[in-house]
Amino acid sequence: MAESYRRSRWSNGLFVVPYLSVFLTLLVFPLGWGIWLSLNKVDLFGGERFIGLKNYARVLSDPIFGQAVKNTVIFVGVSVPTLVVLGLFLALALNKTTKGSSFLRGVFFASSILSVTIVTLIWRIVFIPNDGLMALIFEYFGWQPIGFLSTTGWSLFSVGVATVWWCIGLPMMLFLAALQQIPKDLYEAAALDNTSRWRVLTRITLPSIKSTIMLVAIIQVVMQFQLFGQAQLMTNGGPAGSSRPIVMYIYEIGFLRWDIGMGAAASQILFLIILCAAMLQYWVSTRKEETDA
Amino acid sequence: MKALNYSPEHLTSNRRLFWIAAFLGLIMMAPVAWIIGLSLKDNAELLKGTEAVFSFPYTLENYANILKSSSVFGWFMNSVIVAVGQTFGVLLLSSLAGYAFARLEFPFRKTLFIIVLFGLAVPEQAVIIARHQMFNWFDLHNTHIGLILPNLSSAFGVFLMTQFFRAIPKEIDEAAMLDNTSTFRIFWKVLLPLTLPAQATLGIFTFLQAWNDYWWPLISATKSDMYTLTIGIASSQTNFAQSEGLGFLGAQAIFASLPVVLVYIFFQRHIVTAVSGGAVK
């Protein structure tokens, strides 16, 4: 009967058992096990010896890790503002119901659905010296050719270009969704007053989507901190480590050098960084609900 | 005098911005057009210079070669098995859990839900090394199951399905309860059919993620006959440009993205909801 349906029962919990068992074995346990591994010296045959925080000390004093952190921070610092500003611009330009706008929205979002291997394959072919699309364009204008993927100053930049190309769809879509939610009467008042477009943008539009701008920025920070595939496939971190991000460092230590304890320690450090950003995201999104309501 | 136009569209957007966006759109499409062009050219001709892209003749030979190459087809099948398996797994687990979290009462319901939400904040990097060891213990590397399992633990689906079940009016299951229907039957026969749009959204999202997954298949599938298409394409990139020719590589890129592009064209609306909905809600 109706009351019994609402009553608390152990048997109702059976519905969550399948998911929870997967959740515990494949997420919670490995999380704890990863922390344990980071406190041990692990040899390849599965033996562990507790060494406390030594792995963390090794990671933090490794100059290659320092370089990877520096690369990642620069990458995040440049790619995230680019994605936010470009995404906002596209959303403002394409916030219309015309066929042309809807086609362009489709174009800008389409790249997001490709896998990192396809994206990097495309961009590597674009950047090949002599024969790539970029080389042809440079030749056409008579510019000095650049080794986009093989020059220290350019490798991380080229990875960033491919990343922005790949990721621009989501910020644009989130901004479009936010623009749709701005109350129309705000604009009606502005139209009656004959306010200039620039004032409408800075006084009405941007303040109304402030929380979305924050949210998009934080989502992108979390995502771009996890940069891996683009760098690994396009430049393999080179030349001279100039485009090696943190995740690639973890991959190399954990899965190429098989120093599992040290790799686990590096991944916990990254987790801590991402967790801080994610907490910020949660905090902003809950505050957003309050202000929206 | 011009009529006043109060539409927000008019005030936030204008023709000049649109044309700048259109220009950026061209830049966006240029690399893809370039790859499509290369994929339609004879490899020997490209070796002499890639300017050949801009002139006839074109050929479908590179695509024919992909279909002949047994490894690419095998990778494709692996990707299909893994992506479909993961999609069904996620839908099943998330629907069951989402229903219970949204509609039923049981001990520790709230606590468990909060713990699951914390799972949303755990990135793959934090668990991947330990997972790799665990799958070693059970000999699960280089198997389809081993490729499917890890992402079933993603909390995103449970979160999304809980939201969807909450949105269904309570009167519907209350009416079913009066007929003394069992809890499972209410879930299966009454509520689940109502969540079909949500299932489509979550399903497409999971499929795309599984299809494009990179890091886990990279370390778990180490034998080339167990590669997914994503990993297979990556492996043939390492001997870039020398062996098979740019045309063939381009054709591989186009071929490998066909399934997701088709999914995108047919289900664009669902994809946009899934991708932006999860972040905004």
Long-range contacts of B132-135, Cβ-Cβ distance < 8 Å, separation of 24 or more = B132/A254, B132/A255, B132/B219, B132/B220, B133/A33, B133/A37, B133/A46, B133/A260, B134/A29, B134/A30, B134/A33, B135/B220
Q: How confident is the model at residue A160 (pLDDT cuts 50, 70, 90)?
A: very high
In a domain, B2, yes or no: no
* Binary contact (A122, B279; C-beta < 8 A): no
How much is the pLDDT for B215? Answer: 92
- Closest residue, chain B, to A28 (C-alpha): B119
* Binary contact (B128, A92; C-beta < 8 A): no
How much is the pLDDT for A237? Answer: 85
How much is the pLDDT for B152? Answer: 94
Domain boundaries, chain A: 46-292
User: B-chain residues within 8 Å CB-CB of A2?
Assistant: 174, 177-178
Counting the structural domains of chain B, the total is 2
Q: Does domain A46-292 have CATH number 1.10.3720.10?
A: yes
- Closest residue, chain A, to B206 (C-alpha): A113
Q: SS3 for B50? A: helix
* Binary contact (B28, A278; C-beta < 8 A): no
pLDDT tens digits, one per residue of B145-175 = 999 999 999 898 999 899 889 888 888 888 8
CA distance B111 to B69: 52
CA distance B205 to B159: 14
What stretches of chain B show up as alpha helix (H) in DSSP? 8-12, 15-39, 43-48, 61-68, 70-103, 109-119, 124-137, 144-148, 156-167, 170-178, 183-185, 196-212, 215-220, 229-238, 246-280
With contact defined as beta carbons under 8 Å apart, do A158 and A123 qualify? yes
pLDDT at A66 over 70: yes
pLDDT tens digits, one per residue of B72-102 = 888 889 999 999 999 999 999 999 999 999 9
CA distance A170 to B36: 25
How much is the pLDDT for B6? Answer: 47
Positive or negative, the CA dihedral A220, A223, A226, A227 is negative
Helix axes B246-280, B15-39, angle to 10 degrees: 140
CA distance A287 to A285: 5
CA distance A10 to A4: 12
* Binary contact (B125, A226; C-beta < 8 A): yes
Q: SS3 for B40? A: coil
Are residues B114 and B48 located together in one domain of the fold?
no
In this predicted complex, what is the ipTM? 0.83
Q: How confident is the model at residue B2 (pLDDT cuts 50, 70, 90)?
A: very low
Are residues B71 and B177 located together in one domain of the fold?
yes
pLDDT tens digits, one per residue of A1-13 = 455 566 778 888 8
With contact defined as beta carbons under 8 Å apart, do A256 and A242 qualify? no
* Binary contact (B122, A27; C-beta < 8 A): yes
Q: Is B264 an 8 Å CB contact of chain A?
A: yes
CA distance A230 to B192: 39
* Binary contact (B119, A23; C-beta < 8 A): yes
pLDDT at B13 over 70: no
With contact defined as beta carbons under 8 Å apart, do A42 and A251 qualify? no
In a domain, B232, yes or no: yes
Give the DSSP per-residue string, chain A.
-HHHHHS--TGGGGGGHHHHHHHIIIIIHHHHHHHHHHTEEE-TTS-EEE-TTHHHHHHHH-HHHHHHHHHHHHHHHHHHHHHHHHHHHHHHHT-S-SHHHHHHHHHHHHGGGS-HHHHHHHHHHHH-TTTSHHHHHHHHHTPPP--TTTSHHHHHHHHHHHHHHHHTHHHHHHHHHHHHTS-HHHHHHHHHTT--HHHHIIIIIHHHTHHHHHHHHHHHHHHHHT--HHHHHHTTT-STTTT--HHHHHHIIIIIS--HHHHHHHHHHHHHHHHHHHHHHHHHHHHHHHHH-
User: A-chain residues within 8 Å CB-CB of B177?
Assistant: 1-2, 5
CA distance B89 to B28: 35
* Binary contact (B215, A118; C-beta < 8 A): no
User: B-chain residues within 8 Å CB-CB of A179?
Assistant: 8, 12
User: A-chain residues within 8 Å CB-CB of B270?
Assistant: none
User: A-chain residues within 8 Å CB-CB of B155?
Assistant: 23, 27
User: A-chain residues within 8 Å CB-CB of B187?
Assistant: 15
With contact defined as beta carbons under 8 Å apart, do B53 and B37 qualify? yes
In a domain, B1, yes or no: no
Is it true that the peptide bond before A245 is cis, omega within 30 degrees of 0? no
Q: Is B138 an 8 Å CB contact of chain A?
A: no
Q: What integer is the mean pLDDT of B57-67? A: 77
pLDDT at A225 over 80: yes
Chain B from 63 to 122: CB within 8 A of any A CB: 92-94, 96-97, 99-101, 104-109, 112, 116, 119-122
Any idea what DSSP says for residue B55?
S
Are residues B24 and B118 located together in one domain of the fold?
no
Length of chain B: 281
Q: What is the residue-averaged pLDDT of chain A?
A: 86
How much is the pLDDT for A143? Answer: 84
User: A-chain residues within 8 Å CB-CB of B252?
Assistant: 121
Which residue, B36, B61, B86, sits at the end of a domain? B61
Q: What integer is the mean pLDDT of A163-189? A: 88
With contact defined as beta carbons under 8 Å apart, do B115 and B177 qualify? no
Any idea what DSSP says for residue B181?
-
Which of B25, B109, B127 comes nearest A34 by C-beta?
B127
How distant is the Cα of B40 from the closest Cα of chain A, in angstroms?
Answer: 15
Q: What φ, ψ does residue A250 adopt, rounded to 5°? A: -60, -45
Q: What integer is the mean pLDDT of A133-139? A: 83
Are residues B128 and B39 located together in one domain of the fold?
no
Are residues B270 and B176 located together in one domain of the fold?
yes
Are residues B221 and B90 located together in one domain of the fold?
yes
In a domain, B33, yes or no: yes
Are residues B20 and B151 located together in one domain of the fold?
no
Q: Which of A90, A199, A179, A91 is nearest to B20 (CA)?
A: A90
- Closest residue, chain B, to A128 (C-alpha): B241
* Binary contact (A5, B183; C-beta < 8 A): yes
Q: Which of A78, A60, A76, A68 is nearest to A243 (CA)?
A: A68
**pTM for this prediction:** 0.86
Which residue, B61, B76, B105, sits at the end of a domain? B61
- Closest residue, chain A, to B9 (C-alpha): A96
How much is the pLDDT for B260? Answer: 84
Which CATH number does the domain housing residue B97 bear? 1.10.3720.10
How much is the pLDDT for A3? Answer: 53
CB atoms within 10 A of CB B105: 13
Which two structure tokens, joined as six digits, stand for A248?
Answer: 């690639």
Are residues B49 and B120 located together in one domain of the fold?
no
Q: In this prediction, what percent of chain B has a pLDDT beyond 90?
A: 31
- Domain of B15 in residue numbering reads as 8-61
Q: Is B177 an 8 Å CB contact of chain A?
A: yes
pLDDT at B1 over 50: no
In a domain, B261, yes or no: yes
Q: What integer is the mean pLDDT of B262-280? A: 71
Which of A6, A116, A170 comes nearest B275 by C-beta?
A170
Are residues B55 and B78 located together in one domain of the fold?
no
pLDDT at A212 over 90: no
Q: How confident is the model at residue A248 (pLDDT cuts 50, 70, 90)?
A: very high
How distant is the Cα of A262 from the closest Cα of chain B, in angstroms?
Answer: 10
Q: In this prediction, what percent of chain A has a pLDDT beyond 70?
A: 95
Radius of gyration of chain A (CA): 24
User: A-chain residues within 8 Å CB-CB of B96?
Assistant: 15-16, 18-19
How distant is the Cα of A121 from the closest Cα of chain B, in angstroms?
Answer: 7
In a domain, B3, yes or no: no
Q: What is the residue-averaged pLDDT of chain B?
A: 83
Are residues B117 and B46 located together in one domain of the fold?
no
Is it true that the peptide bond before B57 is cis, omega within 30 degrees of 0? yes
- Tokens 């002499």 belong to which residue? B48
Q: Which of A221-225, A243-247, B14-18 has the highest mean pLDDT?
A: A243-247
Q: Which of A267, A284, A200 is nearest to A228 (CA)?
A: A267
Are residues B36 and B93 located together in one domain of the fold?
no
How much is the pLDDT for B243? Answer: 53
Chain B from 214 to 243: CB within 8 A of any A CB: 214-215, 219, 230-231, 233-234, 237, 240-241
Any idea what DSSP says for residue B188?
I
Are residues B100 and B116 located together in one domain of the fold?
yes
pLDDT at B280 over 90: no
